[in-house]
Amino acid sequence: MADLFARLAKIWKSPRFRIVFWAAFTGVLFGVTEVGLPLEDIAVNGRTMLRSHPSDGQIVIVLQDERTLQELGTYDITRGQDATTVRNLFASGAKRVFFDRTLAYINEDKGTNAFIDTLKANQGRIFLGALPSSDGAHGNYAGMVPAAAFRANVDVVSLLALNHPFNLSMSLPFASDSPIGKIPGLAARIAGVSGSIDRVFRPDYSIDHTTIPTVSYVDVMKGRADPRIVRGKDVIIAPSADVYHDIHPLPTQGYTPGAFFHAIAAETLKHGVPLELGWLPAFLLVLVVIITGVGRGRSLDVYRFTGLVAILVAAPLALDGLRIQIDIVPAIAMAAVAVFRMRHLDKVEVAGETNAGSGLPSVQVLRKYDAVSSRILVALKIRNYSAIIGSFAGEVEAQIAHEIVRRIRISDSQVVVYHEGGMFLWLSTIRSTFDLFENLEGLHRIVQNGIQVGGLDIDLSFNCGIDSEFDRPVSSRVASAMQSAEEAVRNDELVYKYDSHKHEARWEISLLTQLDRAIDNGEVWVAYQPKLDVASNRVTGAEALVRWTHPERGPISPDKFIRIAEEFHRIERITRFVVNDAVRAAVELRRQGLELSMSVNISAQLLRNPGLPGMILEILAVHGLEPEKLTLEITETDRLDRSSRTFQMLQKLVQAGLRLSIDDFGTGNATIDYLRYLPATEVKIDKVFVQAMEANKEDLLLVQSIVEMAHSQDRTVVAEGVETLAALEILKGMNCDTIQGYYVCRPVPFRDLLAEIKEREARRTG
């Protein structure tokens, strides 16, 4: 046994064996965990675009579209209208009718009875859908099924789908579990294919959805549709109007109603169930190439890697046409790791343990230092190091490195400094982290004075990362210290300390992955906080505020997920969601006799998006709300001038009839410049000043000055953060126009907002 372990240890010491091992490990990790699924979806979508072809036209979609709802004068279809439509479909020769809706609730009226009679008369030809319930089990479980009176005369099909990360694709199950047992998927039922609950398939999205025959629901219901459209075909009745919120991104084809996914999936299965071989075939092919290349001592160069990738891209394209699906990302990731590590090994073997440019010991020496050390490891990152070196005609890297090391050793004299590119590392003799921070601050001041090389003064700036986890070998701490230095550069901090127990970065990455799905499944919602007119004591407006209630973590701070959405350019979808809900809410309030203006926050990032006015006006037009009823609250942006793109965008928004509000006035850039340049009708005083003015005279005078200054510019003033009657009385004395805060009402769901307004109106007039 000892000999076996010794032999294994000897094998492990071989760097080339470790290359093969870690490459294979990466491939297996990607394959088993599906961490590369977004990249896989991108590859599949690319092939899908090349294979685009028309539908066979054997499935027809009857759309409950905007025209249907407008012509029928309703917000939703009734069962009586469904009964008429189904009878007309069968009279026109339709083969079967599938509802892409659940119909989980029942009303005792003539229309319902007529619908039940229609179901009885056409047993085996009508199918109703089932969806997941908001409070039911997760996974492939259709908890919301049709009402019992409907189920007695129809078969039930699953409408469930599995969204891939970032909404890059969608898979459908062959069947789903439900309170009434196993039910087939809609697509599987149309195609006459059976499958288990734990199996899903990726539809052939190369079928052009625009070639799938469609007809408006109202035309079928009123007998205006051409019978030839549905004769002998399966029909899916599907909601497509905006009010149904059933619009999803169809890979490579834009946003479409959910029924198109089921139609494409059904057509896919009718032509043969896709054979999914997974990631192993490509993985094994690349593994053989790596073993024969790297394992025998030959470098797996970029050319061979490029050839491998070309094969891995071309082969699936041919196989897709045969309905054979293979995953290639794990194999590509494995090959990339092998190439990267092999080329790195080549460089290390050539460079040895001394940095050729500076003559200092190479960082590679530290990477081989497997012992532990009780010293703090410091990584110093020189900004624009390459640009500085490149600005000299001669070889000056050694001189610059010498000057940097000389300054490091002023207060840390015994250290050995290791060099790699613009990074200098050393194990400090200073034991205290606090003392080391002070030492690095002093070093920063010294270096800021510049260094002289070849008679020229060079300005240097640096950031540092430190690793003080002494229980790990130095070799494993090098990357941590260097990464911390990079983090310090990104965050513009002098020193950043590595902490392996911080999981927030990983959580933020996963948060982004979940955000789109959270919007789709209702975890993200809109709260409304009323705005009270001080003079009339009436609620005259409300601010729409996005909220996220995570099923495991509970409420997530908007500051957190909005920041992440802005950083990764997802803020447009959140804004679209909030604006749509706010406009819908305003229209519903008007329907109930309440005229309120709605306010929505607009990210500074969106002000640089030329499509912003069009997006907002489109939403207003869909719901029929005047632009002046919507106020856009502009948060802190770059300092304004009349030539900036931001200012031009604000002008376009105002010209479109929208109202602008200066949010968080008094903080950041939101100062007097905004009043001079921003074409706003409203100023919102930041709650920090409003909440402090009762106890602080300076804040009181500041709030009063803002009110007077805004009124002098013909702006309406809103004070946010009002929490007490005393604050209200103070603001009333200042002639503040509107207040907002917990004293009036907390941000609440729309139904609670409606109740709050009606209760206030009742008290006011009672």
pLDDT at 764: 75
DSSP class of residue 75? S
Radius of gyration of the chain (CA): 33
Q: Please, are residues 264 and 309 in contact by the beta-carbon 8 Å criterion?
A: no
Cβ–Cβ contacts within 10 Å for residue 652, how many?
A: 14
pLDDT at 508: 58
- Name the CATH topology of 363-497: Alpha-Beta Plaits (3.30.70)
What is the per-residue pLDDT across 352-410, written as a single tens digit (0 to 9) for each? 577 878 888 888 888 888 888 889 999 999 887 877 787 776 567 888 888 888 888 88
Residue 508 makes CB contacts below 8 A (sequence gap 6+) with 560, 564
* 3 state SS of 544: strand
Domain locations along the chain: 16-50+276-351, 53-273, 363-497, 525-765
How many residues in total does the chain contain? 766
Vertex 261 angle, CA 258 and 266, to 5°: 135
- The structure tokens listed for 97 are 């009718």
Q: What is the 3-state secondary structure (H, E, C) of 378-446?
A: EEEEECCHHHHHHCCCCCCHHHHHHHHHHHHCCCCCCCCCEEECCEEEEECCCCCHHHHHHHHHHHHHH
What is the per-residue pLDDT across 185-201, written as a single tens digit (0 to 9) for each? 999 999 999 989 999 99
pLDDT at 62: 97
**Residue the block writes with tokens 């078969």:** 155
pLDDT at 295: 47
What distance in Å separates the CA atoms of residue 210 and residue 54, rounded to the nearest whole number?
A: 8
- Which amino acid appears at position 161 of this protein? A
Check for a shared fold between 363-497 and 525-765.
no
**Residue the block writes with tokens 């760097």:** 15
Q: According to DSSP H, which parts of 537-611 are helical?
A: 558-567, 571-591
Helix (H) or strand (E) run with residue 263 in it: helix 259-270
What pTM did the predictor assign? 0.46
pLDDT at 297: 45
pLDDT at 554: 66
Q: Mean pLDDT of residues grouped by 10 in the chain (766 residues)?
A: 54 68 85 86 88 94 95 92 95 96 82 92 94 79 92 92 90 94 95 92 94 96 94 96 92 93 94 88 83 56 66 81 86 82 63 75 85 91 81 75 87 87 91 81 78 75 88 88 85 77 54 76 91 92 90 74 76 91 94 92 85 92 93 69 72 91 72 72 89 87 91 91 91 94 91 90 76
pLDDT at 503: 44
What distance in Å separates the CA atoms of residue 636 and residue 664, rounded to the nearest whole number?
A: 8
- The structure tokens listed for 142 are 């259709």
φ and ψ of 596, to 5 deg? -125, 145
Q: Yes or no: is domain 525-765 CATH 3.20.20.450?
A: yes
Q: Please, are residues 729 and 534 in contact by the beta-carbon 8 Å criterion?
A: no
φ and ψ of 106, to 5 deg? -135, 140
Residue 642 makes CB contacts below 8 A (sequence gap 6+) with 677
